[in-house]
Structure formats: C-alpha cells, structure tokens
Amino acid sequence: MSSFSETSPQVSIIIVSYRVQQLLRQALQSIYTFSNKQLLEVIVIDNASNDGTAEMLKNEFPQVKSIINKTNLGFPAANNQGFSLAKGTYVFMLNPDTEFVSPLVDQLYNYLEKNPDFDLVAPKLLNTDKSHQISAWRYPTLASVTLDLMHLNKINKKHFYLDKQPENHSFEAESMSGAALFFRKKCLDISGGLDEGMFWIEDIEFCFRIGKSGCRKMYLSDFELIHHSGQSAKKNYNISISNQIYNKIKYFKKHQSSISAFYISCLSFVHVIAKIIVFSILSPFSKINSLKRKAYWYTLKRVFNPPAGIA
C-alpha cells in the first residue's frame, strides 16, 4: 500500500517525446495502470513530432498536461520546460519508451521517504526481452571514453558497475540513465535543471553537478522498468551520432582540463574518420549504413568546435 500523504500531487512525471506516438501511448497506459492517479501529475512535452502525438494526448489522455513545441528544442530544454511546471515534491524524469510492470512511482517515492539521506534514485532497467540493461555508470574519465571510442567497453567493467552485479544488487552510484530518474525537487533548485547545451550525456552531467553539491544517488535493483531503448535515435542519425560525439567533448571542456578536452577531441576525430571508412565500405549493402556514413561526415566538420546546442 502506498504511503503517499493525502495531498496532491506528490510526484510530477516529466516525459519528453519525439516521434514515438505508440511508445508514448504504451508508457502512459502503463503509468495509469500501476499508479494512483489522484496523487501524481503527468506532464508531456512533445518536441514537434508532427505524428499525431498532440491529438492522441488530447483525445486519449485528457488528464495529462501537455506542451506541444513548434520546433524540436532537444531533450534537456524540453525537460526544463516540464520541470518549471512541476508541482510535486518529487520529480520523475521518464523516457517515453518506458513501460511500467509494477507500482514504480509508489516504490520509489516510499524509498526516498524512508531514506532521507538520499536525494535521487533510479530503478533497474530491462530491455524489451526483459534482460538486464546497463543503466548506471561511474563518471567519464579519459580511460573510459578512450575504451568507449575504441569499442572496448567489455574490458571496462568497473565503469559500468559490473563489479557490483547490478542485476541483483542495489548500490550508491555516481550517475544513472536519464530514462528514469526519480529525485527530490530540491535537486532542480541546486542544479538549475539540465544543461541545455548537452545532449546524450545530460543525465550524467546532471548527476555530476548534484553530486558535487552533496546529493546522494542510489541505484535500486529491486524495482524494475522496461526501457525499449534507442527508438528516437533511429529517427535521425545526424542528431544521434553527432551529439554522442560532441557531448563527450563538451563534458570534458566543462568539467575537466583543457588538455583532457583536447585529447578527447583528437581521439573523437580519429574515431569519426574510422567510422566514415567502415560505413563507406558497408553503405552499398544497406540504406542504414549509408545514412550512418553521411551522419559521420556531418559530424566531422565540428569535432574540434562542437555546437552549443543540438547539432
């Protein structure tokens, strides 16, 4: 049974969507199936999907507060729009490609109510086939980014907390996936929200800033959420590929030394060149490979001077 007080709302769920109408519908249906509707508010910010999402929200989920942007403002800026409207004591930043399988809002709320020393928690994420999805990381380092760009993540188990056995164990973590972050609203007061200049690493950067301010974060393996990941990324490879490259560089420029940032820039440049070569060879065999080759060409020209916002 929920330990919510009889005031409303206690929790504000913030969802940013972009061309994922069916997944958003599924996410909202699961939220309302497993949650006490009277004790939460759901705010959806749609980034100019133009796929019928606005009409779907109006007709099928009139209880949802929605913002329909005329242009794609990006994930961080759209979340900040939602944060500014949130009335709950707690905020639940949630992806539209997630699906509840339990009363997750109650579970996370009750955990923080009983553990006042912690300010942010995240559930265990599952892939569509119910297998474990890695969703907790230590902060980026030169070593971890080097291994990532060289596709050698398998030997970097500590970075992904695999030494903690996240499938079965909860632990205090440095950063966790923005697909599902549940936190006290004071985290927004401390941080000012997400950095709108970041995209694809904004969750890690957010966790880094609130961590520096003394907020403690907990990964909770006992509570599960399905995450049908990567659906929005498939809609535009130029955006997804370029921003995964650019924002590693921007993170180091913001939080590390200029030498470290320059090293990451050089390494990223080599990585992009290698990808162009690989996908040029593969592009005749697949339209997707051709699109990825074009996306890496698109990325190459600004590796040493990444754009301030979304590429």
The full set of domain ranges for the chain reads 11-227, 236-300
Query: Is the Cβ–Cβ distance between 296 and 311 less than 8 Å?
Result: no
How does pLDDT run across 9-65, given as a tens digit for each residue?
999 999 999 999 999 999 999 999 999 888 899 999 999 999 999 999 999 999 999
CA 92 to chain centre: 12
> What is the Cα gyration radius of the chain?
19
Whether 309 has a pLDDT exceeding 70, the answer reads yes
Report how far residue 10's alpha carbon sits from residue 83's, in angstroms, rounded to the nearest whole number.
14
Nearest CA-CA partner of 269 in 246, 292, 243:
246
How does pLDDT run across 87-98, given as a tens digit for each residue?
999 999 999 999
For residue 3, what pLDDT is reported?
42
Please, what is the average pLDDT of the chain?
94
- 55 C-beta neighbours (distance < 10 Å), count: 11
Number of residues in the chain: 311
How does pLDDT run across 148-206, given as a tens digit for each residue?
999 998 899 999 999 999 999 999 999 999 999 999 999 999 999 999 999 889 999 99
Mean pLDDT computed over 110-126: 98
CATH 3.50.50.60 correct for 11-227:
no
Report how far residue 157's alpha carbon sits from residue 160's, in angstroms, rounded to the nearest whole number.
5
Amino acid at 110: N
Nearest CA-CA partner of 135 in 251, 226, 239:
226
For residue 229, what pLDDT is reported?
86
**HSE (side-chain half, CA atoms, 13 Å) at 126:** 15
Report how far residue 189's alpha carbon sits from residue 82's, in angstroms, rounded to the nearest whole number.
14
Tokens of 5: 């007080």
Report how far residue 169's alpha carbon sits from residue 218's, in angstroms, rounded to the nearest whole number.
11
The pTM for the full model equals: 0.93
